[in-house]
Amino acid sequence: MTMTDNIITPELVALDANFGGTTTEVITNLATLVQGAGRATSTDVLAGDALAREAKSDTGVPGGVAIPHCRSEAVTQPTLAFARLDPAVNFGGPDGDANLVFLIAAPAGGGKEHLKILSKLARALVKKDFTAALRSAETKDEIVELVLNVVNAAPKKATAPAATTEATPAPEASESSAPSNDVTRIVAITACPTGIAHTYMAADSLTQTAEEMDGVELVVETQGSSAVTPVASEVIDAADAVIFATDVGVKDRERFVGKPVIESGVKRAINEPKKMIEEAVAASKNPNAYRVTGGNGSAEASADAEGAQLGWGKRIQQAVMTGVSYMVPFVAAGGLLLALGFLFGGYQVADVAESVVKDFSLSNLPGTIFTEDGEQVSRTGLLLYLGAVLFATGQAAMGFVVAALSGYIAYALAGRPGIAPGFVGGAISVTVGAGFIGGLITGIIAGLVAMWIGSWKVPRIIGSLMPVVIIPLLTSLVVGLSMYLLLGRPLEALMTAMQDGLKGMSGSSAIVLGIILGLMMCFDLGGPVNKAAYLFATAGLSTGDDASLKIMATVMAAGMVPPIALSVATFVRKNLFTPAEQENGKSAWLLGLSFISEGAIPFAAADPLRVIPSMMLGGAVTGAISMSFGTTSRAPHGGLFVFFAISPFWAWLVAIVAGVIVSAAAVIAMKQFWPNKAVEAANKKAETQPVAA
């Protein structure tokens, strides 16, 4: 029996089932099927992961179909759960409610072979005959047979040398490298954040639409979670236009330099494939159309191409978020190592770590030593040596924070040629004292300059040197001169003023800052506002000053409040929550204790008007109390489990408990005095009938 033979079984199918009226209920019921079949260790964890993915973007697609999907630690083997719903539920699809819903559940650490299987299903869902068969099937066994026929089907063989990942090119796509007058050749890239479903659905949607259009040949490269086979260079050379339908950066974007480009999110390729192809055809005939440059930029465009590409503001915003996402692992690893260093070596380890690591070893452990101020270090021997090693390692990781932020902002804007100048700019920012503000500025400058230089038209003999020598050299020169001659001192003064202002905050001003941070952490529960507050805290953590440590403690405490408060509320007044929310409440408290704010997303997604204000109120209370007590945290993550890095720990706990009580009371009051009819209906249904299976 192969891996695909039991990816779906009759017990994973529900026909004409009433799974509730919200996406939360439907996904939770599907997760229950998976757990009941022995494919998942926890319904709550699987449903939470799927709902967290759903919160990023709707999974409804054309044809009354929805494909919620996720990777989850709870999933033990690749699984498909299917429900034909009655009544249908709104998953944000372009043509209304969905009555065919597949939950695609992939193991978090699984290999890539099963992702290819799941991608076959996603591609089949854009075919009308397949969805019609799903709607007309009379038994669960028929559904299983239909799905297995799809996922076990042999892959189509591409006739073009541009063999793509899963998506099949038009037959004549590469028979000639020279474009003809009456045929428009298009290369498309599709990619979504998880790389499981939308990537491949967008690819097939574009491919099938192109096959129905006269005078269009299209090849798709799917940059999903399974192996990516790049489009052949000769196919790119022959292309008249490019479509980028992605929610993430395009890999090796510089391959498409000079090509007219139409750019959008991945779902537009699913919903409006014909319109995107028509725009690409028009762009291929427009000499002023947006074009790909050496990085991720564009040239000037005519009004005819309006909306074809992302605006500059959005592009820079995405670049900054990319830089933050690459920076966070440095902060998390470095910060936790610093905290462990203090745990083993004591608070004085920061003063002696460098000398201990250089002068001692496991065979020559330190005895009684003194700091530069003549103070005797309280710990000796193995504990001090291990603490110093951990602290020095963490310090090395934290030393890359600003450079990584700057480097990957530049990378998001200009591709690989931007990485080196971005890192150089970040290192200069640290040298001149401009800190993370300087890193933000140098990253943007490096990215834009590298993008501009990459757009230069140069002789072919020089072109090969552009990405590896000329662009990094000239961009690094521009960034270095800008920082040392123009921007360094003003940015250093701004950073110093901020640090001095934070250090000087006391009394009411510190409490106001705590309230603001608490509101931000609880506003979108892991979204951009939450991440902005977290970046503010972690970027300052590298300085090690007392004010920054207070901000870190406040941010972490406030971020823990929503999941814990909602868990408490579901225990205290369970009848105010749907059965699905009651199930989520059983595990949300653990997510909260671990500082995973996303544990509250299922509640907020189902009832934002009652949940989000209540959580913000509790977060503000926690932020104010944490700041007023002056609690500090040397760890950037970990919640309750890094108690050793928080001081005073009791005051930090008081702040969290107070916020939890306020948020729980507020959400109970909101739901009590402003009843939710959907909750009442779900509870009545649960009382009168079991969960459909």
The structure tokens 């395009």 sit at: 250
637 is catalytic: no
* Residues ≥6 apart with Cβ < 8 Å to 423: 403, 404, 406, 407
Three-state secondary-structure class, residue 223 = coil
* Residues ≥6 apart with Cβ < 8 Å to 367: 380, 381
Residue 381 near residue 303, CB atoms below 8 Å:
no
What is the C-alpha separation between 647 and 193, in angstroms, rounded?
A: 38
Residue 1 near residue 9, CB atoms below 8 Å:
no
Q: What is the DSSP string of 336-381?
A: HHHHHHHHHH-TTHHHHHHHHHHH-BTTB---S-B-TTSPBPS--H
Helices (H) and strands (E) in the chain, counts: 26, 12
198 is catalytic: no
Q: Which of 65, 68, 74, 76 is nearest to 26 (CA)?
A: 68
**Distances from the Cα of 513 to the Cα of 93, 231, 516, 625, 626, angstroms:** 40, 51, 5, 11, 11
Give, as one character, the DSSP assignment of residue 213: S
The residue from 69, 114, 198, 637 that is catalytic is 69
* Residues ≥6 apart with Cβ < 8 Å to 488: 428, 432, 434, 438
The residue from 70, 192, 198, 637 that is catalytic is 192
Widest pairwise Cα distance in the chain: 84
Residue 189 near residue 254, CB atoms below 8 Å:
no
**Distances from the Cα of 526 to the Cα of 167, 369, 401, 551, angstroms:** 33, 45, 21, 17
**Residues that are catalytic:** 69, 192
